[in-house]
Structure formats: C-alpha cells, structure tokens
Amino acid sequence: MKIKFIGCLCVCGVFSSGLYGQGFPSVIAKQMLERTAKEKAVARPAKMYSAQAARLSHLHRLAQDNFEELNVMLEDYFTLNPQKASAWQLRENKKLQEQLVRNWLERDFYASQRVLPCRKGVSFAVSRRIDFLQYIPSSARLVVFGEIHEQDWMVNALETAVWQLKKVYPHRNIYYASEFINAVPGEEIYLLQGEKDAEKLVTKRPYYRAVTNRMIEAGVRVVGLEDPALSQELQQTGYSRNFANTPLAWRTVSALGVRERNQYWAQIIGRIYEQDPEALVVVHAGLGHTNYNQPNPLPRLLKKYSPFVVEFTDLRLGNFNTLLEKYAVFPLDILQEAVTYRIQQSQQPVFLLRQMKDKRMALVAGCDLNIRRW
C-alpha cells in the first residue's frame, strides 16, 4: 500500500524536527553531490580518479532533473511526520534513508556505465500463463514474493507458484510464510490448522484470509510472520489517510520500521530451517520488505538460504522500481507480442516477464524475476 502524507511539512520539501531533519530523497542526494564536489575541489588532480569524476558527472546529470526518478521510487520512506517520532527513531531512520539513497545512486551509476551489458543480462518473455518452474532454480530453498498489497492477480500468481512447486516436489515440506498472518510466539513453529486459525491470526489485513485458508486446505505448511502486538495496533488504528501522521507509522512503514519487522520475520524463517533443514519456504510480503535495494531487505537477512526474489509490479498502480524500468526496458518485439495477445484475448491477462541472469543485475533491478501485468 502506497501511503502519502500530504501536509504542510511535506509540501515545503523538507521536514524540520529539532536536531534531525527529514527530507525527500533528492535532498539527501544533493547533499551527497555537494560533498563529492567539495572532495574534488580539495583533492589534487592525480587523486581524482576517472571513476570518481564519472560519478560526479552522473550526479550532476541526475540533479538537472532534481533526482526525479529517485524521488518517485523512495519518497514514501520520507513522508512521515517527524514530530511523531523519538529522537532515536529520527537518528536511526536518517541513517537508513541515507543508505536507501546511496544504494539507488550507486546502482544507477553502475547500470548507466553498462547499459548494453545490463540489457543483455535480462531475459524477456510474454505469456498468458506463468510457468514459475522455468525461472525458480531447482536448488531453491527460499522463494520470496514481493507484492503491492491486496491485488487479486498478484495473489493468484503466487498461489499458482505454490501449486506448481508442490506438484513438482511432492515429498518436500513447502511452507507459506506470510507477513499478513500473526506469528504465534514460542520455540516451536506454529502451523495454522484451519479456518478458525485464519480468522484469529489474519487480522491486520483480512483480505488475505481467503488465500490463507486455501493454502491450509491444500496441505501447505502455513506460518505467520507478523509481530502479533504490532498487528493488533495496526488493526485498531487502520490504514487511514492520516496514518503517516501517527507514531505507529514510524514502527511499521518507515525505513526503520521495515528493518525491525524484517529482522523479526527473519528470525521466524530461520527457525523453520532449524527445525526442518530441507524445507522449501515461500515468503509473501510487500515490495518494501523484499527489494534488494532496501538497506536491510529480507533476502539479505536470509542470504545463507540463497533466496530467489520474485517481484510483482503494475505501472497502473505506480512506478515502485524506477531502476528496473530504466535499465530493463522491454524490447519492441516483446511489446508487439503482448499487444497481439491482448487483441486476441482481451479478457485474459497478459504478463511481461523479466529474469535477471546474474546477481549484479538482480541488485540493480531489485529482484531476480519481475512479473508485470500488461
């Protein structure tokens, strides 16, 4: 869910809160540009390597457009009311905001210097039906799905992936670990048993009760990830238009809140592997938790399990991944094929797929496989 705080603090472009100001991503980027320019000014020519000069030139080009692509992708992490946060929260969150911006700028620079190799590092396809087994490695232990919340086609596609994995690995324990299900504290991993459990534990977003029940009925091992205390507060507060102006927003959707929730979830997933080393775990969470460009995304916290990240996007809902759209541009023949499919069967969804062939391109794109509805 994309949450925007449209208040006087946001309109002026920079939040002010005592010692720790909060600003849009472009504000931090401009500060980095100023520091880099000062370093160049005081350094001797021999010390200014060509790569450093190229980075500075790249930053200047982005500044001419006021870092618009950066703002589009990251602004939601900068639009909370700082007056609702503690000094510690502001201080820690600012560090993470700077890391978010740094990650974006570094990966944008990397890709800008290797445009053709980056495009060659992506395979493109168009399809009416997704065969996930074509893309998810047979050696996968952890498959992480990042979504935009409460979109039917994304949930349906994730279910398709689980059914396909369950069919091809009938003797393997497949777990569905969801941020939309409350965790049950305890040393042993709690597996949901039926509709009563779904009714009791899927409270933060009741929309996901249906898919939770279907997973249970299909024999998938269903595990909750969300901190139950936090979920209860979210249920009581609700995602209102004023949510970004509450203290709870700092504990949930700020860069700091996302990090802390990821750490909580990662501990539970780690316990699944401790108790079932051969498990195949499918994680269901929002894009802000799964994208490689985040400072502490779930895939990084669970790196030892060799995660494969699948990301769902829909440009009609917003451009949540400007790096992907900038450097993994669909070839004309793929788009023409998609148009043909749409004309032939206007009632059927058409999916555009992008698979990153190597990890470096995946870091730029934020995922290993991107699925976009046409």
Instruction: Tell me the mean pLDDT in the region 100-129.
Output: 93
- Whole-number pLDDT of residue 184: 96
Instruction: Tell me the mean pLDDT in the region 4-28.
Output: 44
For residue 30, is pLDDT > 80? yes
Give the pLDDT band of residue 47 (cuts 50, 70, 90).
low
For residue 13, is pLDDT > 70? no
The first and second tokens of residue 160, run together, are: 């398709």
User: Backbone phi, then psi, for 310, in 5-degree steps?
Assistant: -110, 130
β-bridge pairing 221-226 and 308-313: unpaired
Among 2-16, 42-56, 174-188, 302-316, which stretch is predicted with the lowest mean pLDDT? 2-16
Among 5-19, 75-89, 247-261, which stretch is predicted with the lowest mean pLDDT? 5-19
Among 71-85, 122-136, 167-181, 351-365, which stretch is predicted with the lowest mean pLDDT? 71-85
For residue 362, is pLDDT > 90? yes
- Whole-number pLDDT of residue 9: 26
Instruction: Tell me the mean pLDDT in the region 252-264.
Output: 95
Domain ranges of the chain: 8-118, 123-373
3-state secondary structure 123-182: EEEEECCCCHHHCCCCCCCEEEEEECCCCHHHHHHHHHHHHHHHHHCCCCCEEEEEEEEE
Whether the Cβ atoms of residue 176 and residue 223 lie closer than 8 Å to each other: yes
Among 212-226, 245-259, 262-276, 341-355, which stretch is predicted with the lowest mean pLDDT? 341-355
Instruction: Tell me the mean pLDDT in the region 173-197.
Output: 96
- Whole-number pLDDT of residue 272: 97
For residue 52, is pLDDT > 90? no
Instruction: Tell me the mean pLDDT in the region 42-60.
Output: 73
Q: Higher model confidence: residue 78 or residue 96? A: 96
Q: Higher model confidence: residue 240 or residue 91? A: 91
Compute the half-sphere exposure of residue 213: CA atoms within 13 Å on the CB side of its CA.
Answer: 10
Residues 154, 68: Cα–Cα separation, whole Å:
28
Whole-model pTM? Answer: 0.90
Instruction: Tell me the mean pLDDT in the region 162-170.
Output: 96
pLDDT (tens digit per residue) in 118-140: 999 999 999 989 999 999 999 99
**What CATH number matches the domain at 123-373, 3.40.50, 3.30.160, 1.10.287, 1.20.120?**
3.40.50
- Whole-number pLDDT of residue 255: 93
- Whole-number pLDDT of residue 16: 32
Among 69-78, 210-219, 348-357, which stretch is predicted with the lowest mean pLDDT? 69-78
